[in-house]
Amino acid sequence: MATVYYADNYATPTPSGAVGAIQAAPFLFTVTAALVVNDTIKLVQLASGGSPGFNLFGIRIDIPDLDTGGTAIKFQLGDSTAADRYMTTTLAGVLGTVAAGSISSFGPPIAYVAATSSAGIVWQSLPSRYDAQDDLILKVQTAPTTSATSGVITGYILYSQLGISPFTAV
């Protein structure tokens, strides 16, 4: 049965700062149980302060090898609107002899390649505007052959808060 998990620091609000300034919000999730199909991990809150929201500019996730018995596990990366908004399918975490994989929006869009152990974010999915609270969600699309019961998924998002610029205020 699918479970909803939360990052270890999920309850920590995303940092706030000056309107338009690029902010970073790190997250980590400690794997303590076998992952199964349709499990979701809420990694970080998006626009946790609500109105006026924010723009999501960048995503980086590092995933350890979570399929210790094969190469079946596949993930999607999205939000509550679309499970695959940012990553339709990635094999990050299923890297055979490579110990870890990554999902990154930095650099050109790339497909997963075992030799490079990385996957790119869906082309033109960033920046994304959030006007209401949402979550960045990593979903297990295909269950692992043999799931690891330990490991740490880490990463961060880059975003800016929306609002009235001090340079255009009357």
Domain membership of residue 169 (yes or no) is: no
Domain membership of residue 31 (yes or no) is: yes
Among 57, 44, 51, which Cα is nearest to 13's?
Answer: 44
Domain membership of residue 63 (yes or no) is: yes
Top-confidence range, 112-116, 149-153, 164-168: 149-153
**Radius of gyration over every alpha carbon of the chain, rounded to an integer in angstroms:** 16
Domain membership of residue 170 (yes or no) is: no
27 and 41 Cβ atoms separated by less than 8 Å? no
Domain membership of residue 19 (yes or no) is: no
Domain membership of residue 8 (yes or no) is: yes
Domain membership of residue 33 (yes or no) is: yes
pTM comes to 0.84
68-127 tens-digit pLDDT: 887 788 888 999 999 988 887 766 655 443 445 777 777 654 444 444 444 556 656 888
| Lowest-confidence segment of 5-19, 37-51, 69-83, 155-169 by average pLDDT | 155-169
Domain membership of residue 18 (yes or no) is: no
Range of the domain at 136: 4-12+24-161
What is the SS3 string spanning the chain?
CCCEEECCCCCCCCCCCCCCCEEEEEEEEEECCCCCCCCEEEEEEECCCCCCCEEEEEEEEEEECCECCCCCCEEEEECCCCCCCCEEEECCCCCCCCCEEEEECCCCCCCCECCCCEEECCCCCCCEEECCCEEEEEEEEECCCCECCCEEEEEEEEEEECCCCCCCCC
User: Domains in the chain: how many in total?
Assistant: 1
53-71 tens-digit pLDDT: 889 988 988 888 888 887 7
